[in-house]
Amino acid sequence: MSTRDNPWKTLSVKDIYDNPWLQVAEHQVINPAGKPGIYGLVKFKNCAVGIIPIDDHGYTWIVGQYRYALDAYSWEIPMGGVPVGTDMLAGARRELKEETGLTAANWREILSVHISNSVTDETGFVFVAEGLTPGKPEFEETEKIDIRRLPFDELVEMAMTGEITDGLSVTGILKLARLHAGS
């Protein structure tokens, strides 16, 4: 039988690590079985924001880059971090321009998702950007990005076959595909 009441009791919290992007804390707890335990929690200082730009011909843009944490190259929707508590749409506009050079006249949020809710509080948002105007990307010094324009249907196929594995990208792409199928 499940309950919506919190079955955990926090006894103490000790900060273990802190940098400009995240904080790691160890929580001494009483677990749902009533026994003492620990819980490690990663608190992100940014929300993840992803953008699916769609032009008048049904094409979109993705970005490819080497992801240090995975030790692998990754194709994904344009995305970045936006400080918690700030305007997600403003951050989405900045990230789209930074990574692709594109600006958009029309925006809509299609998704809010918890990225890995068993160990982190990170939230991700996905926006669709339309009414696009091309421009020059403004990469950050930590970014070496490839930009690719392709039909949206091809992007969906990449998500379905596992060629795109980033969680925010996959959920955003499949949500938009579902929305398109219903219209």
Alpha-carbon gap, residue 60 to 106, rounded angstroms: 14
pTM: 0.92
Check residue 183 and give its pLDDT.
66
Which of 83, 79, 77 shows the shortest CA–CA distance to 175?
77
Please state the domain extents for the chain. 9-44, 46-181
- Condensed to tens digits (0 to 9), the pLDDT of residues 62-89 reads 999 999 999 999 999 999 999 999 999 9
Check residue 87 and give its pLDDT.
97
In the sheet where 103-114 sits, what is the strand order?
Answer: 79-83, 46-53, 123-133, 103-114
Check residue 107 and give its pLDDT.
98
Check residue 181 and give its pLDDT.
85
Check residue 3 and give its pLDDT.
66
Alpha-carbon gap, residue 170 to 137, rounded angstroms: 23
Check residue 141 and give its pLDDT.
84
Under CATH, domain 46-181 is a member of which superfamily?
Answer: Nucleoside Triphosphate Pyrophosphohydrolase (3.90.79.10)
Check residue 2 and give its pLDDT.
61
Quickly tell me which residue has 């094409």 as its tokens.
59
- Count Cβ neighbours within 10 Å for each residue of 26-64 and write b for 16 or more, e otherwise: eeebeeeeeeeeeeeeeebebbbbbbbbbbeeebbbbbe
Q: What secondary structure letter does DSSP report for 114?
A: E
pLDDT < 50 regions, the chain: none
Alpha-carbon gap, residue 66 to 57, rounded angstroms: 29
Check residue 140 and give its pLDDT.
83
